[in-house]
Structure formats: structure tokens, C-alpha cells
Structure 1
């Protein structure tokens, strides 16, 4: 269970102490199936194992894994609108009158009541973990909306969870643009083979995307000389992981390299042991990376709840 994308929040030591009750707090917020007339539900599901008795958290070395699940009814607007149009047309033909806006709204509401119980249900899961030692909430998503939804679920369960968005003291865009332009990166960090450059002067400015590209190439430097700045940059950290870092400090396309995977080995005796080993490896590797990001961009941990 290795994360592929990372959206990050920070919290204070006082908040970390409160997170010790996380498993108890989540108990009343398990995911439940969609009711016949509900469009969707959201709640927590066991990150390891299945069933109503399975724990909703899994802890290794002060890092607690949890999973937010959701069920969503699939009822395309086109289907509803087509059925609505048929009913409106039938009334016009049989009763010889036009259907007004208020009546159309009532008919549509009746259609939803009729169609929802028969709609397909799409399930989704999103893993995350809290690092109480270092004050990080790490969510396996690049979507800000999905991250905020998960954070809302945690706040509802805990009553309060004052995790905050990253507020870098060093501008990520300017810093990454300098890394690419000069080739002078922090120790242990080297350029990958992917970047996205934009002209920040206008909202509709030119965009240059490079993939599987030597980022030291002259054509890349020419874009920078013409005023473009780095919005996403492929990087390799300590020859152990590769990723694409955005100017929003969201990490995308995270991949552990062979040297890390070799350390995992294949000696685990069962699924639970393998889960522990993978989660421990994930959190230890990311602990090192996030500590460096804190240093590069100035990401202090909040001191108050």
C-alpha cells in the first residue's frame, strides 16, 4: 500500500496528543451504505481487513493509517433530463398544455425519487495517515477537493482537528525555477525528466510540458529565459524515490526506486505482516523527505492548536 500522490497538512503537538483517541472517535463515523434516496455517503472503513469488527486505524511507529470511504449513486444528468423531457412532452400531447417551471421542478424531483433506488453505486477509498511525532497529515490524493473532504470527515469525527494548509516561507515556484535554471539543487536532490513551465504574466499564458526530457537541455533553458516559471518539476530524492513536485507543494507520481523495494524483501509470512512492513517503509521514507521539504521551503510546524 504505497501512496501515489501526497497532499499535506500540518498540526501542532497539542493536536497530536488529541489524536491518540482517533480510533475511538472514528467508531461512530463508519461508512454506511447509501440509502434508497441518498445520492451518497462518506465515512471511515478499515485500512486493514474487512467487516464491522475490523479496526478503523492501524498504527506503526506513531504513524496512524486510516481510510475514508465513500459510496456515490451514479445518476447521469442526461438520463434524468431525457426522462423529464419525455414526461413533459407526454403531458403536452395528452392534456394540450405547456408545463410551467414549478411543475417541471416537481416532476424532476419525483423522477429522482423514482430513479435513485435503481441507480448504480460507485465505491471509492482514499488512504491517509497522521504522523503524530512530526505533525503531518498525509493524504494519498492530488485533488484538493478530495483532501478537504477527508479532512472534513476527520473534523466531524474528532469534533475539532485544526490541521492547516502548508504556508511556505520560501516561494516554491521561484525556488524550483532557480533549481532548474542554475542546476544547483539541495543535497540529495537531482532533476528528474519531467516539468511544466508557464508564463505567469497572464492567466492564458503559454504552457510548456516536458516528459522524458533532459531538463538540462538548452531548449528548456530557453523557455526560462523567455520568462516561464516552474509550476511542476520532476525530482529524484537520494536515489530512493522519484516524484513530481507542484508549486502548490502537492507531490504527484510518487514512486519508490529499486533500492527501497529491495529493502522490503519478500519474507513476510502473512498479509498483516506485509502490511506492517510496507506501511513502516512508507512512513520512514516520507519522514526523511518531508523533513527536507520543511527545510527547503520553510514549513514550520504549528506551535498552537
Structure 2
């Protein structure tokens, strides 16, 4: 349900009732693009049942879904038609259209072709944890996350959101974990797995990606001490959830490990939506708590972290740690 996680802090002072939030989202309900509309953004039923609520509350966790539909006309098609129209004007009048006229012609061509363009839809699942005052987005890119944040701020008056920031940057922490002498030095409940991306800074910006590779090696440690810093690192939490942590505190490729679904005791006759939400929030909530603690705790609202690239990389020890 939440495969790519981005976490925000919900500011104090915003505590609407579920019915008030539902009414607010109803005013921004999703509708498909019109014939000459290139984009439409709005809220749809997260359970997937037509005319259902736009916010579902499962175990006190609020779940909503933002739908983004867009239509695009290939640029080469627009340019070809524009060239044809320009050539016709030159042939019939003997003059070349100016820049403004060509821009207006291009806009008209695009408008005429939009009804024939195929629409593409994507969605962002939104989780509002009002008790922990966290907003969690299932967004694979910053662009989609920004769409969801903008839509939330537009629909919900008084809502204040900021990216969650930790005292220790993810990159600094990942660097420390890769240089740790023993797995016992890793944070409680977290385990470094077998995938990592290291990237140098500066003009060179060389990068190395390890996949299905044991990372507790002198080779990895040497690259880190030479200045290649981790931008992504595969981790597992409590033997139940695997994910890839990024330098910007995104969790990618989130998956529940073998046995978690069986251990949940989910009744097959139960509504899968409720069960999936309960399982996801029940595991991701303590995972996020553990991860934030491992990164030194959360910074105060409005505070800024030091860029990871500015933090010192530990010097190489005389004896290899592994």
C-alpha cells in the first residue's frame, strides 16, 4: 500500500474533525480532463467505491487518495503542424510570422490536438496520522509529493506542513553505519542489507552501486573514506519490513518480509482495504519512530539540518573494521 514513503510534520493548531475534513475534500473531488484540458487534479475514494467517502478512518488513521490526470501532445507533432502553417502563410502572403504570432499559432494547435490526446492517470495515497501529527505520502517522486501537498493545503484551511527533518542527516547516519566495525554498532531494530549507492561530490561525481552485495567489507569502507558518500542504503527493520533509505529521508521499495502477512492473522473474508491499512500503519508507525530515533531524533519545527556533504567523513582507521 505504501511502497515509496515521504514523511512530513503536521504543524500544531490544526485539528479538524473527520467530517469537516471530508467536507473540505468534497469541494476538490476529482473529475476527468475536459476535451481541451491538459491536466486535472482532485480527490477520489481511497477504497475505490463510487460515491464513497474521500477520507477513510481506520484505527484512527486517516487515508485519502489524490488522483492526477494529464494529457500530452507530442512536441514533434505540434512543431510539424506549426511548420506547415508557417509555410502556408509565407507562400500566400510572402511574409514570415513573428515570434508572438508563432506562439499564438502553437497554442491554437495544441488546443486543437488535446481532444485527441490520451489521458494518463496516477495517484498519491495520503496518510494523516493525527495522533503522531505526521503526514505520510506514497509518492515515488518529489513532483507527485508536491502535487499532494499543494492539493492538501488548498483543500484544508489552516493546515501547515513541513518536511520532517532529523538532527543527524540520513547521509551522515548511513556513512556511520557503513563504517561501523560490527553489526552490533548499528541502531537497534535496524539492519544494513545488501544494496547501496555511493556517490562522490564535486566535478567528478563518480558513483558505485552495489546490488546483492555484502556491504561489511574493506572495499566498501575504502570508497566511503575516500569521499564517496551513500545516497541510498537498503535496510530492514525488526526483521519485518525492508526498505531503501535515501539521503533525503525517503523510504523506497518498502515491502513486508516473509511471514508478516501470515503473522497478521488477517481473515480472508475481511475487507482487504481495512486490513491493508491496519497492517501498513501498524508496521510503518513504529518503523518511522525507530528510524527517527536512529537519526538523532526530530529537529524542532522550522530548524534546518546541516548539508550532509559538509559533514566530516570519519578518517580511515589503521586496522580494517571487518
TM over 0.5: yes
Greater per-residue helix proportion: 1
Distance 1:84 1:165 in 2: 43
* Aligned position for 1:76: 74
Residue 225 of structure 1, CA deviation: 2.5
Structure 2 stretches lacking a partner, 5+ long = 303-322
Residue 32 of structure 1, CA deviation: 1.3
* Aligned position for 2:236: 236
Report runs of 4+ in structure 1 exceeding 6 Å deviation.
none
Residue 42 of structure 1, CA deviation: 0.2
Q: 1:255-302 CA deviation, whole Å, 9 max, x = no partner?
A: 1101212124563325xx121111100001001111112212221575
* Aligned position for 2:206: 206
* Aligned position for 1:49: 48
Which of 111-120 and 121-130 deviates more? 111-120
Residue 171 of structure 1, CA deviation: 2.2
Count residues in correspondence: 297
Distance 1:118 1:38 in 2: 11
Indicate conservation of the 8 Å contact 2:124/2:145, yes or no.
Answer: no
Q: 1:195-220 CA deviation, whole Å, 9 max, x = no partner?
A: 111223x1542211111111112221
CA RMSD of aligned residues (A): 1.8
Indicate conservation of the 8 Å contact 1:75/1:116, yes or no.
Answer: yes
Distance 1:187 1:194 in 2: 19
Distance 1:193 1:186 in 2: 17
Q: TM-score, normalised by structure 1?
A: 0.92
Structure 1 stretches lacking a partner, 5+ long = none
* Aligned position for 1:216: 216
Indicate conservation of the 8 Å contact 2:198/2:229, yes or no.
Answer: yes
Task: Considering Cα pairs closer than 8 Å and 6+ residues apart, tell me whether 1 or 2 has the greater RCO.
Answer: 1
Q: Given the alignment, which residue of 106, 109, 119 partners 1:108?
A: 106
* Aligned position for 2:195: 194
Partner of 2:214: helix, strand, or coil? coil
* Aligned position for 2:157: 159
Q: 1:62-81 CA deviation, whole Å, 9 max, x = no partner?
A: 21110000111121222111
Q: TM-score, normalised by structure 2?
A: 0.87
